[in-house]
Chains A and B, each alone.
Chain A
Amino acid sequence: MELDSLLSEKREEITREWFNLIIQAYPPDTAKFLKNQTNRFANPVGHAISEAMEAVLGHLVEDRDPADVYRSMDGLVRIKAIQDFTASQSIRFIFSLKEVIRKKAQGQHLSGELLELETRIDELALGCFDIYMACREKIYDLKAKELKSMHFRLLKQANLVSEAGDPGSGPVGGNGS
């Protein structure tokens, strides 16, 4: 109860501090840019960070739809997964929220509630891990698909693969591969 109101009250502060922790993963020049450029199309990474933060806090404070929070976390983890970060670095952002909240809750005798909240954050972290794995798998899948789409017609022409194995080319509106 009390933790809830603390979160609502200090939401802006929490968001700001959390954002600052998240962008520390980047070199200083980049961090400065991520923070200052507010146009979402000119700064896709900064935008994804903000969206994910907003969704996670929304979920924790207002009990918003979990599908929402997963979609937004996906937006960020998908980026981290191709930015040369390790798995742990890619999902660290979610743990840094604990740090921020713990600091805010210090001396407020909220340890019971805090534990409960941290468990919920851990749940989200597990979800992020799944997203990260799916992203890395997708990268390998793309490599395989590209090879196939490049050579499939040639193989077919050379009668090296038959129609029976023809997976088709996918519908317009599918992934087109």
Chain B
Amino acid sequence: MGTPKPEELIQKIDLTPQWPGWMDTPTEIKPGNFCWGAKAKDLDGIGFPNPREWNPGEEDWKLPENWKEIVIEGLRERLEKYRTLKVFMDICVRCGACADKCHFFLGSGDPKNMPVLRAELLRSIYRREFTTAGKILGKFAGARELTMDVFKEMWYYFFQCTECRRCSVFCPFGIDTAEITIIGRELLNLLGCNIAWITGPVNNCYHKGNHLGLEPHAIMSSLEYMIDDIEEYTGVKVEPTFNRKGAEILFITPSGDLFADPGTFTCMGYLLMFHELGLDYTWSTYASEGGNFGFFTTNEMAKRLNYKMYAEAKRLGVKWIIGGECGHMWRVLNQYMDTWNGPADFLEVPVSPITGTRFDNAKQLKMIHAVEFTADLIKNNKLKLDPSRNDHLTVTYHDSCNTARGMGFMDEPRYVINSVCNNFFDMPENTIREQTFCCGSGSGLNASENMDLRMKGGLPRANAVKYVNEKHGVNLLANICAIDRAALTSSMDYWVPGVAVAGVHELVANAMVFKGQGKRTVDLRGEDIPGMEEEEEAEEAAESIAVQEPQEEAAGAAGEEGSE
């Protein structure tokens, strides 16, 4: 059935918010729902305005005296620069079709999390300052004065939007509230009012090349740890190279894959697969971040942080680039990289050295997603797979907002998962693909201090997982996004305990059969694979054991059987 048509939506929904009463409900900044303010040292480190120590929970945000002028001037500038913003400010008819589509509204029950009201935060200022009706009629025309309370309200709610764009799918005019949030955050940024969880990684990335601030030796030693683990679990010794000039392909993944479980297991998956293929590729310890938290500050900062990808590809003289499993990374690459830092005319159109497939979809970008690369390998029968190695798993797939809505990337991951797992069940239609629900922690909101907010935002997704968990016994939530891997792990822990979270390449490598592999009775987490623990003994005893235990509780059982 796909996405409902605008006409259908307008007919069905009667959700016009109280108008203009919402302006009279004061906003209280509640602990558990906001992130710590950007730190002085980080703002300073990236040359952002107003570096100071401040606490959003306190009265005084330490803003310059002319703060209001700065915001209004900033808005004027952006209205001139981005035509979409001007259009989005003018054309909303307040039909309410978007109102109940936001995971934060659904999870919090707070009407100010209705996308239409989120946009009104900015629109009300726009009307007051830039339209005649707003200047004269004020509140009756939906306009209001920018006061300190209004500014704080903007801050509170623009950092309760994950820029997921679900609302835009339902708007008959295609108004993209995510873009309004992006501009709203830029304006807040003019006064140093970003959050620590975003500006910290941005500062790190600007100086060290990745969000975690890892220096080259730390990156290499992290991968060395994985190499040891891989050898222990599979008997295969992988030998990745770093900063190797003349390699055919440069591989760039989000740095979360290097350090945070379960992303590390996905990373081990790439290492194994590339090794098995004998791929001529290299890692870079400089372009060591696929993600781009700069995207959650300003357009210019996002561009700056992105610059290193092409620059490093040029320095190393590679032909093209593969990018790891990530969400916002791909929205940034797919929609902005070429305009910002292209054209990458020193690179070639990606051609898989294994299958010969030419990725014309990446003709301009010269970079493809690891899952595209793998789907093509499988389609051409280039991976030796034994999906029964994943038989203890019943899998569902979470479409990351950015890969699904941001780049229409929905079938390849499902194709790969179905090729490496025997038990796959999609979640209900209105919660996947274009209509996918956000993990609840995207766009830099995956801090810990706002855990209540993250759980609210994560509810609609988790609710759908719970359904397939109860109906089909799903015990694994696969995804292709580094933030999902971290965020959904907590979300599942709270909402649907017993469902694990894994990247797609972890599943791929677990199902692969490698040349010269040892006896593989454990997976990439070093855990026993039910049914494979004691293959030899099982063979010996095959005759005496007539009935095999059903594998329903395989997931839980794995932990109890020890990990030797």
A binds B: yes
Residues of A within 8 A of B (CB): 26-30, 32-34, 36-37, 39-45, 47, 78-79, 82-84, 135, 138-139, 142-143, 145-147, 149-150, 152-154, 156-157, 168-177
Our pick among B456, B489, B494, B528 for the contact of A83 (Cβ within 8 Å) is B456
The reply to whether B501 and A44 form a contact with Cβ atoms under 8 Å apart is no
Let me know if B106 and A84 touch, CB within 8 A.
Answer: no
**When A42-B100, A176-B501 are in contact, do A168 and B563 touch as well, CB less than 8 Å?**
yes
Q: Is A139's CB under 8 angstroms from B455's CB? A: yes
Given A32-B15, A170-B500, CB of A45 within 8 Å of CB of B525: no
Please give the number of chain B residues whose Cβ is less than 8 angstroms from any Cβ of chain A in the complex.
69
Partner of A82 from B25, B455, B559 at Cβ < 8 Å: B455
> Given contacts A146-B486, A175-B497, A176-B500, is CB(A41)–CB(B456) below 8 Å?
no
Contact flag A29-B111 (CB < 8 Å), given A143-B448, A146-B448: yes
Prevailing SS type, chain A contact patch = helix
Enumerate chain A residues within 8 angstroms of B558, measured Cβ to Cβ: 171-174
CB-defined A-B contacts under 8 Å, sample of 7: A26-B109, A28-B18, A34-B109, A149-B489, A168-B527, A173-B555, A173-B558
**B107 within 8 Å of A by Cβ?**
yes
Q: How far does the alpha carbon of A41 sit from the alpha carbon of B494 in the complex, in Å?
A: 18
Verify if B388 is at the interface (C-beta below 8 Å from A).
no
What separation, in Å, do the CA atoms of A39 and B452 have in the docked complex? Answer: 25
Question: With A29-B15, A157-B218, A169-B262 in contact, is A43–B106 under 8 Å at CB?
Answer: yes
Known: A143-B451, A171-B525. 14 other contacts (CB 8 A): A29-B114, A30-B110, A44-B459, A44-B460, A45-B106, A78-B494, A82-B32, A83-B107, A157-B222, A171-B500, A171-B559, A172-B502, A172-B523, A173-B475
Residues of A with C-beta under 8 A to B264: 153
* CB <8 Å contact, B489 and A172: no
Assess whether B381 is interfacial by the CB under 8 Å rule: no
B234 CB to nearest A CB, Å: 15
What's the nearest-Cβ distance from chain A to residue B556, in Å?
A: 6
Contact A176 B262 (CB under 8 A): yes
B428 CB–A CB distance under 8 Å = yes
Q: Please state if A153 and B464 are interface contacts (CB–CB under 8 Å).
A: no
Q: Tell me, rounded to whole Å, the shortest Cβ–Cβ distance linking B520 to chain A.
A: 14
Q: Which of A30, A145, A172 has the most CB of B within 10 A?
A: A172
Identity of the chain B residue whose Cβ is nearest the Cβ of A45 in the assembled complex: B109
Where the two chains meet, the residues of B that have a C-beta atom closer than 8 Å to any C-beta of A are 14-15, 17-18, 25, 30, 32-33, 99-100, 105-111, 114, 218, 221-222, 225, 259-262, 264-265, 392-393, 428, 430-431, 448-449, 451-452, 455-456, 459-460, 463-464, 467, 475-476, 486, 489-490, 492-495, 497-498, 500-502, 523, 525-528, 554-556, 558-559, 563
How distant is the Cα of A45 from the Cα of B110 in the complex, in angstroms? 12
Task: Please tell me which one of the listed residues A28, A34, A147, A174 contacts residue B500 in the complex, with CB atoms under 8 A apart.
Answer: A174
10 shortest A-B CB distances, which residue pairs?
A: A173-B555, A171-B558, A176-B500, A44-B463, A171-B527, A143-B448, A171-B559, A29-B111, A82-B455, A30-B109
B residues within 8 A CB of A29? 15, 17-18, 111, 114
Contacts of B225 in A (CB 8 A): 153, 156-157
Whether A83 pairs with B109 at a CB distance below 8 angstroms is yes
Known A82-B455, A82-B456: A27·B527 in contact at CB below 8 Å: no
- Partner of A44 from the list B106, B392, B554, B559 (CB cut-off 8 Å) is B106
By the criterion CB–CB under 8 Å, are A169 and B467 in contact? no
> By the criterion CB–CB under 8 Å, are A30 and B111 in contact?
yes
Contact B476 A172 (CB under 8 A): yes
Residue of chain B at shortest CB distance from A32: B15
Contacts of B25 in A (CB 8 A): 27
Assembly CA distance A44 to B476 (angstroms): 21
Q: Check if A176 sits within 8 Å of B489, measured CB to CB.
A: yes
A contact residues around B110 at 8 Å (CB): 27, 30
Complex CA distance for A145 and B486, rounded to whole angstroms: 11
A38 to chain B, nearest CB (A): 11
What's the least CB distance linking A34 to chain B, in Å? Answer: 8
**How many angstroms from the CA of A168 to the CA of B33 in the assembled complex?**
31
Q: Choose from B107, B492, B563 the contact partner of A176 (Cβ within 8 Å).
A: B492
Q: Is the CB of B108 within 8 A of A147?
A: no
Interchain CA distance A123-B260 in the complex, whole Å = 43
Bound-state CA distance A33–B501 (Å) is 32
CA A79 to CA B527, docked complex, whole Å: 33
B-chain residues with CB within 8 Å of residue A45 when the two chains form the complex: 106-107, 109, 459
Q: Are A79 and B555 in contact (CB under 8 A)?
A: no
Determine if A41 and B431 form an interchain contact, defined as CB atoms under 8 angstroms apart. yes
Hey, which chain B residues are within 8 Å of A27, CB to CB?
Answer: 25, 109-111
Min CB distance, B212 to chain A, in Å?
8
